[in-house]
Structure 1
Amino acid sequence: MISTVSTPAADAPAAPRFQVHAYPLALRILRVLLQGVLAVNSLYIAVLIFFFTFTGAMEPRPPSRAGWLFLLSVGLVGLLRLLDWLTAATLSIEPERLVLERRGDRFEIPLASVESVRGWLFPPGMGLSLRMQSGRGFEYDLRMADPLPVLEALGKDSPRSSAAARHPNTVFAHARALVRRRWYLWVLKFVLFPLLPAGAMFYTHQMITYGGPTGQYQWYGLEPYLRTFFTYWVFSTAVFVLCAFLLRALAELVSFVAAWVSPGYARGVRRFVEIACTVLYFVGFPAMMAWQYLG
């Protein structure tokens, strides 16, 4: 849908620009399916390792199936990143039009032709869909972490965006987007931190089974020694993945309910549950593991 609205004057204020992902319906459905399969597969890997690593064998090993499923998860993550790259776009909100630019395409949408802006009703992911005056939807849905700034740029009092800005799903997405999620925090949580309980369990195993912290190395060499440590590290990581899954599910549920029941407190509830999850993950669950293991 291309308009013939003239370009704004050079001295006009710069139009707000937002980095979004423009999805046709088929790709949006595909992304939801890939995210669902990735979540279920990752949880299944953790369950496999937790229940079938220590099965009474002399030298326990993680199930080989878990390794193949891990490669599947890596592939799914790659596909999701590819979709993000393919759908990357820029949305500019000008006084009389919306301008969407994606991979060489440019769409200029007169605001007068937009009947309403609707937030997505179903996670995962949050975004906006445009309903045109013709009754049809715009061919691309716009995915973004936080729809509220876009709606505010359209105007809080605008009938196109006011209902979507007040919707509990928008409130939920805005509160969630305020939490910074850095890649190195994932490395800390699921790679480095599990080394602590893994090291403690490995040391105890070496002392009991081989009579010293390097007994297995002295008797059988470096490869079996490192393989045993890897087993304890993978098992410890699986335990923390399961803990993180339970905490995240509870945190998102509480935050979602809060956004619907009391939108004004959604940000405060989100901050509280994030702090509680951090404390339980880094203090509560390790304490429970130590009590269970030493007890």
Structure 2
Amino acid sequence: MSPMHADAPVEPSANGQAEASRFQVHAYPLALRITGSALQVLMTADLLCASVLVVTGTFTGAMNPKPPALAGWLALLALGLFGLTRLIRWLTAATFSVEPSRFVLQRRGDRFEIPATSVESARVWRLPMPGAGVSLRMKSGRGFQYGLRVADPLPVLEAMGKEAHHPLTAFAHARATVIRRRWSHVALKFVLFPLVPTVIMFQLNQRITYGGPFAQYRMYGLGPYLQSFFTYWIYFTALLVLFASLWRVLSELVAFAAAWISPGRARGVRRFVEVASAVLYYGGFCSLVAWRFLQ
């Protein structure tokens, strides 16, 4: 069986009869949602701190510059935090089915059947942490014990017949349908692209400091030569992490404001923002390096 998209409804059955709308979600109790959100915040802060340390503490006039050791420990901590966030996602994996008379949540040995008439409302998370999601409000006045994390709340709300025109719904829908996060994109952005300024500045340093493109290798061996290259690569990767973070914050603010002002245009604005952000990231950084080089 081919894998189903994480937030996509199940296709109709082979006999042509439509099945209940079913969505792959993550069911978070409040404590675990708070924990997951805190881990995300800590991981982001950790990566930014490590990047600042690398940018400010690598090239300090030493003959053989190296990234600060503390930055390496922070990177390892960020990797551990990332592992914990993935563990939580795995533990909270669930299926949410919308049937004509009830809603069914199935998660790791538990099954909850909720009569549709007992649900007063379904609300998009006001704070999309650790991601976008939906909370069910019961007519008894209490909230359902699990919040449903789903990248795109709009199909879930529409299937439930609940209010789906809130600006936050438009914001989450635009983000989920326009941004397609893939590992290949992350690798291009933060692994391969930093090699462009790395090769340029590394070779420039080799020629100025040692007198040729391979002079350090001939004089001191392969280890120091690769260490020097690695230092430049880590430096520019950290610089690009900070550069990308700046554009990401600005992009999200513009997209969020557009969703509140005109929810119907949220996807168009999001698409424009993402294209502009990519152009500024790749083109803007190359322009800055060229400007710095020509000074």
- TM-score under structure 1 length normalisation: 0.93
Cα displacement (A) at 1:132: 0.9
Question: For residue 108 of structure 1, what is the aligned residue in structure 2?
Answer: 113
Cα displacement (A) at 1:13: 2.7
RMSD: 1.1
Find the partner of 1:53 among 55, 58, 64: 58
Question: After superposition, what is the alpha-carbon deviation per residue over 1:180-234, rounded to whole angstroms, capped at 9, x for unaligned?
Answer: 1111100000001100100100000000000000010000000000000000000
Q: Unaligned stretches of 5+ in structure 1?
A: 1-9, 156-160
Q: Unaligned stretches of 5+ in structure 2?
A: 1-14
Query: C-alpha distance in 2, partners of 1:176/1:222?
Result: 46
Find the partner of 2:134 among 128, 135, 153: 128
Aligned length: 279
**In structure 2, what residue type is equivalent to 1:19?**
Q
SS of the counterpart of 1:166?
coil
Query: C-alpha distance in 1, partners of 2:289/2:43?
Result: 27
- 1:117-196 to 2 correspondences below 5 Å: 117-124=122-129, 125-155=131-161, 161-162=162-163, 165-178=164-177, 179-196=179-196
Instruction: State, as a whole percentage, how many aligned pairs show the same letter.
Output: 62
Question: For residue 97 of structure 1, what is the aligned residue in structure 2?
Answer: 102
Question: After superposition, what is the alpha-carbon deviation per residue over 1:147-192, rounded to whole angstroms, capped at 9, x for unaligned?
Answer: 000011112xxxxx11xx1111111000000121111100000001
**In structure 2, what residue type is equivalent to 1:181?**
R
Cα displacement (A) at 1:11: 8.8
Does residue 33 in structure 1 map to residue 32 in structure 2?
no
- 1:1-295 to 2 correspondences below 5 Å: 13-124=18-129, 125-155=131-161, 161-162=162-163, 165-178=164-177, 179-295=179-295
SS of the counterpart of 1:18?
strand
Query: C-alpha distance in 1, partners of 2:287/2:17?
Result: 59
**In structure 2, what residue type is equivalent to 1:26?**
A
**In structure 2, what residue type is equivalent to 1:177?**
A
- TM-score under structure 2 length normalisation: 0.93
Cα displacement (A) at 1:264: 1.5
Query: C-alpha distance in 1, partners of 2:137/2:272?
Result: 36
Change (3 A) 1:11 1:229: closer
Query: C-alpha distance in 2, partners of 1:92/1:197?
Result: 50
